[in-house]
Structure 1
Amino acid sequence: MDDAAHTTDTAPSIDLLVVGAGPTGLMAGLVARRRGLSAQVVDPKPGPTRESRAIVIQSRSMEILDQLGLVAPVLDGAQAAGRIRIRQGGPGVGADFAAAQQGDTPFPGARVFEQSRTEHLLADALATEGAPVRYGHGLVSFTADPSADEGVEALIDGPDGPVRVRARWLIGADGASSPVRHRLGLPFEGVTDEATFCVADLHGVRGIETGALTARFGRQRFAILFPLGGGGHARLIWLHGGAEPDQEEALAGAREDLGIRYERVDWFSAYRVHHGVAARFRQGPVLLAGDAAHVHSPVGGQGMNTGLQDAHHLVNLLADVASGLREPGQLERYEAERRPVALTLVRIVDRGFGVIARPGRGTAFARRRARDLLAVLAPRLLASPAGHRLGGWLGQYRIHYHPVPDGEPLPRWARDRAVGRRLLPTDGNREALRAMTWQLHVVGADEAVRPQVPSAVAGPFFGAGPRRGEAPGRETRADRGTDAGRGPRSDRDSAARMLLVRPDGFVAASWPLHAGTAAASDVADALRAYGIPPGRAGGPSA
């Protein structure tokens, strides 16, 4: 039946329709507004989530909130957590991951800030921007040509009846059971954990340290406690067993095996966790982000952060295409860059937790040995040079977007180790990076000639980039492995260089400077690789 027969109104065309008003969808809507796109976020729920749900904001997400001017409420209202305590009887041993992140991010450590507060923060900002979330409005259907770069027609049902919305793009940020993903027919590749995942918000918990995560090792179980505030307010996460227990059965197991003592329960949930990643993140003008694209266990405090960064990355790309700065074919970069991040997270964080946290006597001995080993090695490891890399992975700022496809030789503009990594936010460049524009940054020189780039590219800014050999230029053995066969590195390049930085803060290209000038061919090659038509290149902006 034709949906038009039921449509009571037709909304004007917009650039972006976002389905889902969780943290991912709200971030997408807000970045769209800041980048000049007309956007609408819809969700059938009556308002922001009331439950705490996801609770951890990592360093990279804090940097994004800083770019949006929203970091202060989180700094003021969050419970900082920068240590991990490994404890089962006795005082325990502490490992300081915030110290390992010092100098690599302005926001070392994790912030415990409940999802309900994150949603309110982002939704209020959207309302202030003149684009309030349309709560109580759910997606009924949509049509889109999977071979086209843009063009979606959607039917949205609300209190006043169905409304037809036409948009250039649609983002499905509608959760793990995503109707958008199902309508696209995209497989969700992964596995469901055999054990039941339990989550409880507790008050009056004994033996936890404010400002630290606490790992508990029992005979049958492993758990992590996240501090939520004073008075022993904490989130407990653990795997219970095969059957889904009720609240009292699950918590009785935690009390008996893990020695958890508390005064009252605020909230409890038990469910099976599906670790999965969508086969594709894009089909024509419809794109997936957050839990709609990938689902993780909440143990590492990574899932919500990955969704926030999906949205930030994707909408900046859409805005570049909408402005005509980049060719529509560049939309393929979203999946090419963000899907590997999700796959790595599932492989390392989720599977690793599933092994160590699985209940039963079969893994108990291994857990006890792991506890003793971690108690000795974790503090030393985080204090070593390798600790900076671990801190970067945990904080989600140590991400590498390869500038050219695997197997292709690296052109000169891509040989710098900084290319594909986020520009280290320093006191000298943080204000510039807040502008969320393409920028030029000069390192190792006090002056340089602006190359032939579009007038929309700001700069150059001087002396605000990473020092040579420091973040984001640190290289690991794993980094070298992923770059094997891709061409020579940057060691022989000139120390003076000009960086082309994307609106999301990642370095797109690096050009050696000779007498303050970058080679025109290097500049043209990089612009071409990022889909910036040569005809758009011009002199300095006024």
Structure 2
Amino acid sequence: MPEATSGSISEAAAGTVLIAGAGPAGLVLALELSRRGVPHRLVEAADAPFPGSKGKGLQPRTQEVFDDLGVIEAIHAKGSPYPPMTTWENGEPGPDWEMMTRGEPTPNTPYAEPWLLPQSRTQEVLRDRLRELGGRVEFGVRLKEFEQDEGGVTAELTGPSGTSERVRASYLVAADGGRSTVRAALGTPFTGETVDPTPMLTADMEMEGLPRTHWHTWNSHPGGVVAMCPLPHSNLFQTYVRFEAGDPDPAPEAVRRLVAERTGLQPGKVHWASAFRTRAAMAERFREGRVFLTGDAAHIHSPAGGQGLNTSIQDAYNLGWKLAAVIQRDAPDALLDSYEAERLPVAAGVLGLSTRIHRGGTTGPLSGHRGPDNHQLGLGYRESPLSVERREGLEERALRAGDRAPDAPCKDARTGETRRLFDVFRGTHFTLLGVGDVELPVVGGALATSVKAYRVGGPTPDLLDPEGYAARAYGERGFFLIRPDGYVGVASGDLADVLGYWGVGG
């Protein structure tokens, strides 16, 4: 980090974004800006990367995001499917049972189940990808204070050696967690409730001799439940301990004694531990002028259901392309207003889902069932000002503007090679699909860098649909403009509706 005195201001390039916090949301936002060439700084108050497993479940929709970001192979290589559950009684494991609904990939949904990966490794993969794109995390750099005006944000940063630097940026994004410094400085109300007053402890610890084929639970100890999930490619288990009385002590020796007492096993080294009480809360606004709240700075969840990290990643995925459109292409400021309009209702719904799962379990958050709603594939933006649906008489289950754009296996009309719709969506552009017997214009001028057009089926196709999967997902005929974040912006039978969208959507 460049040194500066507290009285100087580092000149930033026009359109710079300052991101406070290098957790999942901050890293994804930095990736989105990096691959679009938007200048930014990603600062993290901690001196080193987060070491624990914490948010370990990556939902199918998040895996689709990671596919687009070019990290899905690394994510899958470092993780594993979730194991089945078993409950111990009288020193013996019982029969298998499932906490979650499992599924099989389909042509429209290539990722059908949550993927098990410790948060520290997810962040490692994202940091590696960020470095590939020329970005980096500035560790040990704390956002001390800031002020905004009509032209941008001026912030004071404190570096590892205690030196101060005042920086100027066009926008500030808070990705600095549930105790967000930025949110507190804005005075944005953060309202919620205590989901469960019972204290809990989570730890990553070694457990020799415990089978790694299962997620193990001990439910009968009067002090509270213990659950241990094997973390892939390691000898560690993520351990949850519920306290029906007393308060957790996260000191390693205290954790080891507690787990030994409740399970009858002999734990090994404790690598990371943290105590908490489960709360759910959400900011009343996600935007204040040139400052945006994202991830845990905007909403905090019960860990039940594995929604918090995933919702945070998708916040950043939603915001990144919009910031780039405003900074690089002079898109209207209303596009940035759509971030709150779209993500606040989603966060509120997900918050309710997490709370219901937590309270629905017979032994707290460890036993509530996780169904398809947890996969986040059905979340969308039908009510968004960016969603333009012009077709009439649709069936109830038909794809609509604002929905997630489905995948489908197609064939390249020239080469005959398999080409999935997710392959043509991947990247920073909008995608215009003309499905069936339609004609598409040649996209030229300024739009040529931001829109790619494909005819699917019909008399002069770019993509063949031999099995009919695209037609079943999108309909036999129509125009669909797919946003850079993989949602349908426009659905219409008239190309003019698509061409008129650019005054609204980018």
Query: CA–CA distance in 1 between the matches of 2:141 and 2:345?
Result: 33
Provide TM-score, normalisation by structure 1: 0.76
1:342 aligned residue (330, 347, 357): 347
Matching of residue 503 in structure 1 with residue 505 in structure 2: no
Which residue in the other structure is 1:430 paired with? 422
Give structure 2 stretches of 5+ with no counterpart.
410-419, 458-462
Which residue in the other structure is 2:377 paired with? 397
Any idea what SS the aligned residue of 1:500 has? strand
Which residue in the other structure is 1:485 paired with? none
- Cα deviation, 1:226-251, whole Å, max 9, x if unaligned, reads 32036874212243235422257777
| Alpha-carbon distance change, 468 to 414 in structure 1, aligned in 2, over 3 angstroms | farther
Which residue in the other structure is 2:451 paired with? 457
Query: CA–CA distance in 1 between the matches of 2:165 and 2:176?
Result: 19
Query: Which residue type is aligned with residue 239 of structure 2?
Result: L
Query: Which residue type is aligned with residue 424 of structure 2?
Result: A
Query: CA–CA distance in 2 between the matches of 1:30 and 1:231?
Result: 28
- Cα deviation, 1:293-348, whole Å, max 9, x if unaligned, reads 11112232221121111111111111122233631112121111111222122212
Query: CA–CA distance in 1 between the matches of 2:505 and 2:33?
Result: 20
2:230 aligned residue (217, 227, 237): 227
Which residue in the other structure is 1:189 paired with? 191
- Cα deviation, 1:271-301, whole Å, max 9, x if unaligned, reads 2222111111111110011110111122322
**C-alpha displacement at 1:12, in angstroms?**
2.1
Which residue in the other structure is 1:11 paired with? 11
2:115 aligned residue (101, 111, 120): 111
**C-alpha displacement at 1:167, in angstroms?**
1.2
**C-alpha displacement at 1:261, in angstroms?**
3.7
Which residue in the other structure is 1:204 paired with? 207
Query: CA–CA distance in 1 between the matches of 2:220 and 2:393?
Result: 49
The answer to whether the 8 Å contact 1:195/1:243 transfers is no
Q: How is 1:86-105 mapped onto 2 (pairs within 5 angstroms)?
A: 87-89=87-89, 90-94=94-98, 97-99=101-103, 102-105=106-109
Any idea what SS the aligned residue of 1:6 has? coil
- Cα deviation, 1:168-195, whole Å, max 9, x if unaligned, reads 1110000110000001001111113311
The answer to whether the 8 Å contact 2:12/2:167 transfers is yes
The answer to whether the 8 Å contact 2:218/2:225 transfers is yes
| Alpha-carbon distance change, 467 to 216 in structure 1, aligned in 2, over 3 angstroms | farther
**C-alpha displacement at 1:116, in angstroms?**
2.0
The answer to whether the 8 Å contact 2:10/2:167 transfers is yes
Query: CA–CA distance in 2 between the matches of 1:231 and 1:152?
Result: 43
**C-alpha displacement at 1:448, in angstroms?**
2.4
Query: CA–CA distance in 1 between the matches of 2:188 and 2:100?
Result: 41
**C-alpha displacement at 1:43, in angstroms?**
1.5
Query: CA–CA distance in 2 between the matches of 1:231 and 1:32?
Result: 33
Q: How is 1:287-302 mapped onto 2 (pairs within 5 angstroms)?
A: 287-302=292-307
The answer to whether the 8 Å contact 1:501/1:507 transfers is yes
Query: Which residue type is aligned with residue 167 of structure 1?
Result: A
Which residue in the other structure is 2:64 paired with? 63
- Equivalenced residue count is 468
Any idea what SS the aligned residue of 2:361 has? helix
Query: CA–CA distance in 2 between the matches of 1:184 and 1:96?
Result: 39
**C-alpha displacement at 1:96, in angstroms?**
6.6
Any idea what SS the aligned residue of 1:341 has? helix
Matching of residue 122 in structure 1 with residue 126 in structure 2: yes
Query: Which residue type is aligned with residue 432 of structure 1?
Result: V
| Alpha-carbon distance change, 510 to 216 in structure 1, aligned in 2, over 3 angstroms | farther
- Cα deviation, 1:502-522, whole Å, max 9, x if unaligned, reads 00011111112xxxxx252x3
Give structure 1 stretches of 5+ with no counterpart.
360-366, 383-389, 474-493, 513-517, 533-542
Which residue in the other structure is 2:267 paired with? 263
Query: CA–CA distance in 1 between the matches of 2:337 and 2:257?
Result: 49
The answer to whether the 8 Å contact 1:499/1:508 transfers is yes
Per mean C-alpha deviation after superposition, the further-off stretch among 236-245 and 13-22 is: 236-245
Which residue in the other structure is 1:535 paired with? none
Query: Which residue type is aligned with residue 282 of structure 2?
Result: V
The answer to whether the 8 Å contact 1:317/1:331 transfers is yes
| Alpha-carbon distance change, 64 to 410 in structure 1, aligned in 2, over 3 angstroms | closer
| Alpha-carbon distance change, 326 to 9 in structure 1, aligned in 2, over 3 angstroms | closer
- Cα deviation, 1:349-402, whole Å, max 9, x if unaligned, reads 13431352667xxxxxxx9xx98xx9xxx8xxx9xxxxxxx43x2222221212
Query: CA–CA distance in 1 between the matches of 2:477 and 2:306?
Result: 38
Identity over aligned pairs, percent: 29
Query: CA–CA distance in 2 between the matches of 1:30 and 1:290?
Result: 15
**C-alpha displacement at 1:47, in angstroms?**
2.6
The answer to whether the 8 Å contact 1:239/1:358 transfers is no
- Cα deviation, 1:456-506, whole Å, max 9, x if unaligned, reads 3211252579947966x8xxxxxxxxxxxxxxxxxxxx7311210000011
2:439 aligned residue (434, 437, 448): 448
Query: CA–CA distance in 1 between the matches of 2:75 and 2:343?
Result: 25
1:272 aligned residue (246, 265, 277): 277
Any idea what SS the aligned residue of 1:229 has? coil
**C-alpha displacement at 1:127, in angstroms?**
2.7
The answer to whether the 8 Å contact 1:202/1:234 transfers is yes
The answer to whether the 8 Å contact 2:402/2:489 transfers is yes
**C-alpha displacement at 1:105, in angstroms?**
2.9
**C-alpha displacement at 1:44, in angstroms?**
2.2
**C-alpha displacement at 1:67, in angstroms?**
1.3
Query: CA–CA distance in 2 between the matches of 1:230 and 1:22?
Result: 22
**C-alpha displacement at 1:160, in angstroms?**
7.1
Which residue in the other structure is 1:523 paired with? 498
Which residue in the other structure is 1:322 paired with? 327
Query: CA–CA distance in 2 between the matches of 1:413 and 1:291?
Result: 39
